[in-house]
C-alpha cells in the first residue's frame, strides 16, 4: 500500500511517500521532500494547486504513474473530540477547523491540504492523525487547571499536550530496544526541537506532559516562552498590548530567540562556547527547565525505566544533552561523553553503565507513525449504521 503522508508546519509542508504492509516486497520511504509555504499561513487555491502539482508529479516519477492508495495527515489539535485517528469527512474537517483557535496556523493548514488533496485524488481515502490523541490518557488531576469548572466544560480549557505522534512511536521503539513489553514502559520522553515538550509515560500511556491547552506552555523553546506567570499577560494588556500582539510576543519573539537573539540551538551552543553571556543564559535556562521537568516526571511515573531524548535538538545537540545530564546527578544519571558524542544515528545509550536507568537517544519518525495509522484505518472494515456507511 502506498501512503502519502502530509505533515504541515507553520512555514513548510513535509511530505513522504511510504510503502506500508507486511506483504510488500520493498517497504520503506520512496519520497521525502518539503515545500515552503507562505509565512502568513494564507494557503490560497492557487498555491495549493501548485503544491499538489509538484507532489503528484514527484509521485508519478517515482512510481511510474501510480497514485497514492491513501493519504495521512498530521493534525496538531484534536481537542476532546478525537482520541484516535479518523477518516477524513466533511464533518471531521469542520471539527478540526472549529479547534483552530487552539492551534490556528496548524489546524487551518491541515484542513486546507485535506480539501486540496480531495480535489486532486477524489477517490483516495484520507486519514487525520492527531498529535493530542496520545495524551487523552492523562488523568484529570494532571490535565485540569485550577480554575472554575465551567471554563473546562464551556471553553475546553485544559491540558491537551502535543508531540503525541512522535512520543508514541518513540516509546514503541524504546520498548523494543530495551526488551520491555508494550504497556509496561515507564519513561520520561523529551521531544526537543523548535517546539519542545517532555512527557511522563507510565505503563506505555501518557500521564502528564509539559505543553498545555496550546503548545505555548512548558519548556523554553525556539520562539515560545514556555511557563509564564499568567499575570504577565494581564499586565501587558494594561500597558496597552492587544491579544494578537501578546500572542505574537509570547509565541514568536520569546524563548531562545528572545533571550539570545537566535532560535537555533546550534548557534546558541556555539556562542555559549565563545563566552556570549546571552547564549549562556539561554542554554542554562533551557537545560534547567528541562531537568526540573525530568525530575518531576520521574516521580510521576513511579521511577522511570528510561529517559529518552528525541526531536531535532534531542537527537543532534551533543552539548545540550550534556548540559542537561550535568544537572541530573541527584537522579543517579550520568553522561558517558564518548557515547554522547557518537555519530551513530540509530537508537543508542548515552549514560554510564552505573546510571540508575538508561538515558537513550531515540530518533523520532512521525511520518512512519502516521503512515502506519493511516493504513490501519483504511484497512479496517467500515461499520454500517442506520444512515449507511
**Residues 370-388: tens digit of each pLDDT:** 999 999 999 987 655 443 3
Q: Name the active-site residue from 131, 173, 208, 365.
A: 131
Q: Please give the Cα distance from 111 to 94 (Å, whole number).
A: 8
For residue 14, the cross-strand partners are 7, 34
Task: Give every CB contact of residue 373 below 8 A, 6+ residues apart in sequence.
Answer: 72, 85, 127, 129
Cα–Cα distance list, 313 to 266, 284, 301, 362 (Å) = 8, 15, 24, 12
Grid cell locating 186: 515507564
For residue 223, what is its C-alpha cell? 520562539
Report the distance separating Cα 383 and Cα 72, nearest Å. 21
Residue 131 annotated in active site: yes
Q: Do the first three CATH levels of 2-130 and 178-357 match, i.e. the same topology?
A: yes
Average pLDDT over residues 246-273: 96
Q: Which helix (H) or strand (E) holds 260?
A: helix 255-260
Name, in order, each residue with C-beta under 8 angstroms of 111's C-beta and a sequence gap of 6 or more.
93, 96, 97
If one compares 23 and 89, the residue with the highest pLDDT of the two is 89
Asked whether residue 22 carries a pLDDT value surpassing 90, the answer given is no
CA–CA distance, 311 with 167 (Å, rounded to integer): 10
- The sheet that has 2-8: what strands, in order across it? 28-36, 12-19, 2-8, 70-75, 126-130, 86-87
Query: How is the chain split into domains, by residue range?
Result: 2-130, 178-357
| pTM, 2 dp | 0.92
3-state secondary structure of 268: helix
Q: What percent of the chain has pLDDT over 70?
A: 94
Overall CATH class of domain 178-357: alpha beta
Mean local confidence (pLDDT), 57-65:
94
Any bridge partners for residue 369, and if so which? none
More confident residue, 383 or 301: 301
Lowest mean pLDDT among 22-31, 114-123, 237-246, 249-258: 22-31
CA–CA gap between residue 88 and residue 91 (Å, rounded): 8
Q: Which of 53, 199, 89 is nearest to 137 (CA)?
A: 199
Q: CATH number of 2-130: 3.30.420.40, 3.60.20.30, 3.60.40.10, 3.40.50.300? A: 3.30.420.40
Share of the chain above pLDDT 90, in %: 87
How much is the mean pLDDT over the chain? Answer: 93
Nearest CA to 110 among 141, 125, 131? 131
Amino acid at each position: 500500500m502506498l501512503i502519502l503522508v502530509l505533515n504541515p508546519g507553520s512555514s513548510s509542508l513535509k511530505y513522504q511517500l511510504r510503502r506500508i504492509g507486511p506483504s510488500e516486497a520493498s517497504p520503506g520511504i520512496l519520497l521525502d521532500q518539503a515545500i515552503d509555504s507562505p509565512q502568513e499561513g494564507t494557503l490560497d487555491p492557487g498555491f495549493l494547486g501548485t503544491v499538489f502539482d509538484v507532489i503528484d508529479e514527484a509521485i508519478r516519477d517515482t512510481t511510474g504513474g501510480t497514485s497514492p492508495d491513501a493519504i495521512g495527515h498530521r493534525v496538531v489539535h484534536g481537542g476532546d473530540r478525537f482520541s484516535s485517528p479518523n477518516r477524513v469527512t466533511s464533518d471531521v474537517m469542520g471539527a478540526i477547523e472549529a479547534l483552530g483557535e487552539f492551534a490556528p496556523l496548524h489546524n487551518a493548514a491541515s484542513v486546507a491540504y485535506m480539501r486540496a488533496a480531495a480535489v486532486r485524488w477524489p477517490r483516495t481515502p484520507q486519514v487525520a492523525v492527531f498529535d493530542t490523541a496520545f495524551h487523552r490518557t492523562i488523568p484529570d488531576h494532571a490535565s485540569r487547571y485550577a480554575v472554575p469548572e465551567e471554563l473546562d466544560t464551556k471553553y475546553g480549557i485544559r491540558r491537551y499536550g502535543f508531540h503525541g505522534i512522535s512520543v508514541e512511536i518513540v516509546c514503541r521503539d524504546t520498548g523494543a530496544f530495551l526488551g520491555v513489553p508494550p504497556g509496561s514502559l515507564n519513561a520520561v520522553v523529551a521531544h526537543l526541537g523548535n517546539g519542545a515538550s517532555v512527557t511522563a509515560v507510565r505503563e506505555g500511556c501518557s500521564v502528564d506532559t509539559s505543553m498545555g491547552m496550546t503548545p505555548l506552555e512548558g519548556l523554553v523553546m525556539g520562539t515560545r516562552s514556555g511557563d509564564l506567570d499568567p499575570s504577565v499577560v494581564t499586565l501587558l494588556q494594561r500597558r496597552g498590548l492587544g491579544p494578537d500582539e501578546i500572542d505574537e510576543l509570547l509565541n514568536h519573539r520569546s524563548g531562545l530567540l528572545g533571550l539570545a537573539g537566535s532560535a537555533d540551538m546550534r548557534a546558541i551552543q556555539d556562542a555559549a562556547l565563545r563566552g556570549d553571556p546571552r547564549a549562556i543564559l539561554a542554554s542554562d535556562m533551557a537545560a534547567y527547565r528541562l531537568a526540573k521537568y525530568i525530575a518531576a516526571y520521574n516521580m510521576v511515573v513511579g521511577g522511570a525505566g528510561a529517559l529518552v531524548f528525541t526531536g531535532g535538538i534531542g537527537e543532534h545537540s551533543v552539548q545540550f544533552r550534556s548540559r542537561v545530564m550535568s544537572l541530573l546527578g541527584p537522579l543517579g544519571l550520568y553522561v558517558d561523553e564518548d557515547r554522547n558524542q557518537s555519530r551513530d544515528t540509530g537508537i543508542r545509550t548515552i549514560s554510564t553503565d552505573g546510571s540508575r536507568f538508561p538515558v537513550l537517544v531515540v530518533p523520532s519518525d512521525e511520518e512512519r507513525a502516521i503512515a502506519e495509522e493511516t493504513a490501519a484505518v483504511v484497512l479496517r472494515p467500515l461499520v454500517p449504521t442506520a444512515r449507511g456507511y
